[in-house]
Amino acid sequence: MSALDAAHPSLATPVVEVRRIGAADVSWALAEGWRDFRAKRGDLIFAGLLYPVICLVAIVTTVNDPLLPLFFPLVAGVSIAGPAVASGFYELARRREDGEDASWWHFLDPLKGRSRLPLMLLTMMLGALFIGWLLAAYLLYTAAFAGTAPVHISDALPRLFGTREGWTLIVTGNLVGLGFAVATLVTSWIAFPMVIDKPVDALTAVETSVRAARMNAGTLVGWGLRIALLLAIGTIPLGIGLAVVLPWLGYSTWHLYTRVVAR
């Protein structure tokens, strides 16, 4: 603790204890999350439908040729918003765990209490990552196809999969997208459930999330791969499966958080 913190205890930033976890904890969290989903699936399925709606909006907004290059980045980048959208599920899982009433109207409780400001700041962080991803994707596209005719919906796939420029874009785009996905996972996997659970500020929550990621790097990679697989399965067809995957992952993330952070 610094001299300033010692002189002014109210200014000291709390250091939250984090634990090491393993693959067994990830499997346990997914199993507990599935139990929560089975218990609350009827009155919360509407929240899971947010993702299919977003996917449909992405399709509608990119069928015109100027925005067509942003179709895949929009759909792929939707996962960046996942931790924010799932905040209500963290609250419901917490209430069920504590034996409190977990009716559907409690889904919006995080937006009303002490969690509101840190949630807004964390959501703005994810929004910045999402905009950064879209900008990077568009710049990669323009660099790959510089000097060529504008893309049309009729030749989008042949140009993407049938040319050297297209495969260059696929490889570089996926590598850059992986970077944004890792940044999102590392900064948010603990931060969002933590501000639901504890009276902490957004900066402390992000710092704890990053510290927990460093301590559990291998386990976090496994968790991220499971998230990616479930989200990929959920997008078939047109994201309808995300109505199940999103709540399940939301509940599971809460339970994984309880294994990582000392409460």
**What are the tens digits of pLDDT across the range 141-177?**
888 887 676 666 666 778 788 888 889 998 999 999 9
In a domain, 140, yes or no: yes
Any idea of the CA torsion for 122, 126, 132, 136, to the nearest 10 degrees? 150
In a domain, 212, yes or no: yes
Q: Which residue has the higher pLDDT, 53 or 31?
A: 31
The backbone torsions φ and ψ at residue 18, rounded to the nearest 5 degrees and listed phi first, read -120, 150
pLDDT at 64: 62
Is the pLDDT score of 19 beyond 70?
A: yes
- Average pLDDT on 69-80 reads 78
**DSSP category for residue 238:** T
Q: Which of 82-91, 164-173, 186-195, 231-240 has the lowest mean pLDDT?
A: 231-240
In a domain, 233, yes or no: yes
In a domain, 240, yes or no: yes
In a domain, 6, yes or no: no
Residues 6+ apart with CB under 8 A from 99: none
Task: Check: CB of residue 16 under 8 Å from CB of residue 204.
Answer: yes
In a domain, 3, yes or no: no
pLDDT at 42: 56
C-alpha–C-alpha distance, residues 52 and 173, integer Å: 23
In a domain, 11, yes or no: no
Q: Which of 55-59, 228-232, 234-238 has the highest mean pLDDT?
A: 228-232
Task: Check: CB of residue 185 under 8 Å from CB of residue 207.
Answer: no
Q: Confidence class of residue 7 from pLDDT cuts 50, 70 and 90?
A: very low
Burial group, residue 66, by CB count within 10 angstroms (0-12, 13-18, 19+): exposed
What pLDDT, in 10s, does the model give residues 93-151? 999 888 888 887 888 888 888 899 999 999 999 999 999 999 999 899 888 887 676 66
pLDDT at 133: 93
In a domain, 7, yes or no: no
Q: Which residue has the higher pLDDT, 10 or 168?
A: 168
Q: How many domains does the chain have?
A: 1
What pLDDT, in 10s, does the model give residues 197-219? 999 999 999 999 999 999 999 99
| Domain boundaries, position 86 | 18-260
Is the pLDDT score of 187 beyond 80?
A: yes
Task: Check: CB of residue 258 under 8 Å from CB of residue 16.
Answer: no
Helices 202-215 and 164-188, interaxial angle, to 10°?
A: 110
Residues 6, 8, 11: CA angle, nearest 5 degrees: 105
